[in-house]
Amino acid sequence: MADTVLFDGAPDWRAIAAIARGARLGLSPAAEERIRHARSLVDSLVASGTRGYGINTGVGALCDVVIDRDRQAQLSRNILLSHSCGVGAPLGREETRAIMAAQIANFAHGCSGVRPETVAALVALLNADILPVIPSRGSVGYLTHAAAIGLVLIGEGQARIGDRIVSGAQAMAELGLAPLVLAAKEGLSLVNGTPCATGLAALALARMERMLGWADAAAAVSYENLGAQNAAFDAVPLGLRKSDGLAASGANLRAWLADSEILAKGAGRRTQDPLSLRAVPQVHGAVRDAFCEAVRVTDRELASVTDNPAVTGTPAAPEVWSQAHAVGAGMALALDGLATAAATLAAISERRTDRLVNPLVSGLPAFLAAGGGVYSGFMILQYTAASLVAENRRFAAPATLDGGITSALQEDILTHATPAAGKLLQILDNLELVLAIELLAAMQAYDMQPDPAARRAPATDRLYRFIRALLPAYRDDRPLNADLALLRARIADRDLSGPEML
């Protein structure tokens, strides 16, 4: 049985990522009480006729249109139907689960006013792995993604059960539930806030964390193959620059390369190496620092109420606050920054791959090919890496600055947090491939070292044997993309924070 993550206070990004990958979600009694209390506030607001955005008014530019009490349930339903206009291929299982988990976390803060039975139905769908089909495109923020989730609750839309696509009504029936009839404010709350961005951010952070370790490993094996000068990674010179990420990357590289005979034999051969080799701790370390900042922003967002309006107070004295907490500027900026960092990690990896295959600088057979002329070796695989890095440059353009105006000038600034998360995940797809390409090239380079008697470092030798157990040396005898896909899948699911993990 899958582990259960209990939401009591605010979950962190690791909790959301664990649920995305299959852990069950539970609500503590305190969280359930907060949800009940918030609903009592909305019920009091409805009873008193206090004006509240999306409770008894229209939404967007229709915010000053007052909705009679007997039509407020219809407003909630209509919001889901009208906002369900996403397009494109559906999100995957992990992305969908991440968004649902972050949405439930937002409701559990107790300021949204969604009914307990509505939250319970969301939890039940998630834990049963009955997942709404969420079109991946067409959102400037969060509305279309979140509406696709809400549709299933009211028996509309579609859900995925394993390989089957069923109607929303069938999905609810699988849980033994009738489609919900939403009450006042629920329609708006179900499409509101930043859970789309925070959920996807948590998933991206989990993937990025693994790639930080693999990037150091890939750099180490390239560095060793190219006979670089490892004194640049010593603790004393690296300590002159203050960066936690630099220190961590430097320590990792020293661990990978300790006791390398290959490096010892080349010591003093050059004054200093090219930047793609010499600056690995500085570049990888800066990426690590950017990762830590994105973690802080994501956890802060998960601890925040991002519903508009929010409700506070007591049933006797309820308060409703129209504000802009659903605007995801903080998340968008952090995600844009992490996208650039991930693209940078891929860019320096591709440069190291080029040095491995380039006979003008490697000291190795041209393109790591088995023989001249008849064999092309890794020539075109480096092209693939260059193409993916170029694609990353396009994806890394800041979504935050895309702008746009919606809802008849009512929403006249857009921060595009969910699209920022989406393009970050695309960059991470490419980063995994680019690092796998570097690792493939480095393993081939080991097999072509001019002095086969010089031993690898013990840690890099373990990595060599790990990869060679998956894939033999290459002799133009099979399509390389199959090798790439196999290695990419293996590194994407394995923690390699240091050599001791292998």
Tokens of 439: 């690792």
Cα–Cα distances in angstroms (integers) from residue 498 to residues 100, 133, 156, 257, 419, in the given order: 32, 38, 48, 11, 32
- Give me the torsion for CA of 208, 212, 218, 222, rounded to 10°: 130
**Given the residues 53, 142, 223, 446, the one annotated as active site:** 53
Q: Quickly list DSSP for 102-168.
A: HHHHHHHTS-S---HHHHHHHHHHHHTTEEE--EEES-SSSHHHHHHHHHHHTT-SEEEETTEEEEH
Instruction: State how far the Cα of 116 lies from the Cα of 121, in Å rounded to an integer.
Output: 9
Chain centroid to Cα 312, Å, comes to 32
Q: Which amino acid is at 354?
A: D
Q: Coil, strand or helix: which one is 78?
A: helix
Identify any residues that bridge with 321 across adjacent strands, giving them in sequence order.
Answer: 310
CB neighbours of 154 closer than 8 A, spacing ≥ 6? Answer: 77, 80, 168, 179, 180, 181, 182
Q: At what angle do helices 93-108 and 143-153 cross, to 10 degrees?
A: 80
Q: Which amino acid is at 467?
A: I
Instruction: State how far the Cα of 454 lies from the Cα of 350, in Å rounded to an integer.
Output: 26
| 464: annotated active-site residue | no
415 in Cβ contact with 141 (< 8 Å): yes
Strand boundaries in 43-103, DSSP class E: 87-90
332 in Cβ contact with 298 (< 8 Å): no
CB neighbours of 151 closer than 8 A, spacing ≥ 6? Answer: 80, 81, 84, 132, 157, 168
Give me the phi and psi of 63, to 5 degrees please.
Answer: -65, -15
290 in Cβ contact with 243 (< 8 Å): no
Of 208, 247, 209, 198, the residue nearest 100 (C-alpha): 198
Cα–Cα distances in angstroms (integers) from residue 268 to residues 263, 352, 366, 457, in the given order: 10, 21, 25, 18
Instruction: State how far the Cα of 483 lies from the Cα of 488, in Å rounded to an integer.
Output: 8
CA angle 92, 98, 100 (to 5 degrees): 100
Please list the active-site residues. 53
